[in-house]
Amino acid sequence: MSFVKEPLSLLAKNLNLRITVILKDGSEYRGKIVGCDRIMNIVLEGAVEIVGGQPVRNFGRVLLRGNNIMYVILGEV
């Protein structure tokens, strides 16, 4: 197994795959990553807001600001 040292490279390699993003305020979003930039802003397509493990709101496309992201989980959860 090879490890990627740079988070942006890892995100770029996972474009068009489903991810989960947890924000600093505890918000959780799941969707297909369709874009990211050098300051780790992430664009999700078909994004769903998750509260208590349950979907509560659907979004078509959402932009998550990089400075609000606590961590990213690659793949389905």
d(CA 34, CA 15): 6
The domains of the chain, with CATH numbers, are: 7-74 (2.30.30.100)
pLDDT at site 4: 55
Write the pLDDT tens digit of every residue in 20-33.
999 999 999 999 99
* Residue 67: strand, helix, or coil: helix
**Are 30 and 74 in contact, with CB atoms under 8 Å apart?**
no
Write the pLDDT tens digit of every residue in 9-62.
888 888 999 999 999 999 999 999 999 998 999 999 999 999 998 999 999 999
Q: pTM, whole model, 2 decimals?
A: 0.86
Q: What is the 3-state secondary structure (H, E, C) of 1-65?
A: CCCCCCHHHHHHHCCCCEEEEEECCCCEEEEEEEEECCCCCEEEEEEEEEECCEEEEECCEEEEC
